[in-house]
Amino acid sequence: MPLDPFRAAIAVDDDPGRAANKLADDLAGQGSGGTVGFIYVTDRLGANLSSLVETLRHKTGIESWIGTIGLGVIGGRSGAFDQPAVAAMICGWPKDQFALYDRVAPPFKISPDAFGIPTAIVHVDPRHPFDGELKALSAASGAYLLGGLSASRTRRFDQVAGKMTEGGISGLLLGPDVSVAIGVSQGCSPIGPIRTITETQDNLVTSLDGVPPLQALLVDLAVAKEDELRQLLLSLHVGLPVPNCDTGDYVVRNIAGINTENGYIAVADEVRPGQKLFFCRRDRAAATKDLRTMAAKLRGRMEKVHGALYVSCCARGPNLFDSAAEEVELVQEQLGGVPLVGFYANGEIAGDRVYGYTGVLALF
């Protein structure tokens, strides 16, 4: 099935009109045609998403656009963070293999002999109670979800899915004939064994392996060298392994607080007895190695890559690497410079789970 032409570009400019024209000219210089486009804007230009889409519609001839707002955007071999910027990618999927949706996924007819499963690109308004809806969307469509939560320091969390929208979930449903490979890069390394939560109070872990969790943490920290201890404490998080998963997948959550009197540890997520937990550190070295490994493995699963989508956490980019551009280049080193678009999100989605501190990469 022909998927080309894919092409991607990024424009950094505080004038939305100039940014849109630069983007359109760059895309036009790479080729023509296409059926659907992705657009991501930083919150510095978030109020102009609608006008940017209209300019790209007019200049490219592409009617169907999806996208949202992030703290940073990714296009081609570069990225921009905390700057006025817009990125876009044009794709060439057959029109009978994609459908835009807003709030509710459209029915997607799957032939009995179809190979693979559908994929849903999801953009989520973080003000919306979305957990249950993500699971409902996955169940209703039979699709594997990937995407992220809009991120903005303003009150705008606009999305586009053919039309402008906000307040829920929107995106693009791809049919099962579109080959997609998806990977998640965690960027963390464990500093101790996987333990079992034995007692909780709300989001407090009050007993871990039968002892106060602070006691277990101090045992894990004891192996660290004295000159590394401060940096380790600054990068300390917890990993929560995904139940019934044979790939070692886990979600990373903040330590919200430690009570030194009773040894309780507060986790920024729901916790329950019987759940697994390990302490981990999040640093540049671990993130670099994991991202390169994940992208290389994913590339090896695809005979040919036409384009890619990368959703990274807003705590990554220049907050973890030297810059957003460095993070993008780590991905492109493994992909060979394919058309790539993405944004820096307030939570990354793979399957029906919301991750944190991760990078989610999809190859088409």
Last residue of a domain, one of 222, 254, 282: 282
Residues 93, 235 share a domain = no
In a domain, 2, yes or no: no
Q: Beginning with the edge strand found earlier in the chain, give each strand of the sheet holding 144-149 in spatial order.
A: 98-102, 169-174, 119-124, 144-149, 348-350, 353-355
In a domain, 134, yes or no: yes
Helix (H) or strand (E) holding 195: strand 195-201
15 vs 132, higher pLDDT: 15
Number of domains in the chain: 2
User: What CATH number has the domain bearing residue 209?
Assistant: 2.40.10
Question: Alpha-carbon distance 347 to 283, whole Å?
Answer: 18
Residues 270, 332 share a domain = no
In a domain, 291, yes or no: no
Residues 146, 80 share a domain = yes
Residues 98, 206 share a domain = no
Going by the DSSP 8-state scheme, the letter that residue 211 receives in this structure is B
Residue 4, pLDDT > 60, answer yes
Domain with 136 in it: 7-179+302-363
Last residue of a domain, one of 215, 247, 282: 282
In a domain, 347, yes or no: yes
Residues 228, 170 share a domain = no
Residues 337, 268 share a domain = no
Residues 119, 259 share a domain = no
Helix (H, G, I), strand (E, B) or coil at 254: coil
In a domain, 231, yes or no: yes
Residues 168, 81 share a domain = yes
Model-level pTM?
0.88
* Structure token pair of residue 44: 């510095």
Q: Which residues contact 89 (CB under 8 A, 6 or more apart)?
A: 6, 7, 8, 9, 37, 38, 75, 307, 309, 339, 340, 341
Residues 131, 212 share a domain = no
Tens-digit pLDDT profile for residues 249-304: 888 899 999 999 999 999 999 999 999 999 998 889 889 999 999 999 999 999 99
Share of the chain above pLDDT 70, in %: 93
Tens-digit pLDDT profile for residues 115-149: 567 899 999 999 988 878 888 888 888 899 999 99
Question: Alpha-carbon distance 221 to 208, whole Å?
Answer: 15
Q: Are the beta carbons of 360 and 291 closer than 8 angstroms?
A: no
272: left (phi over 0), alpha (psi -120 to 50) or beta: beta
Residues 193, 155 share a domain = no
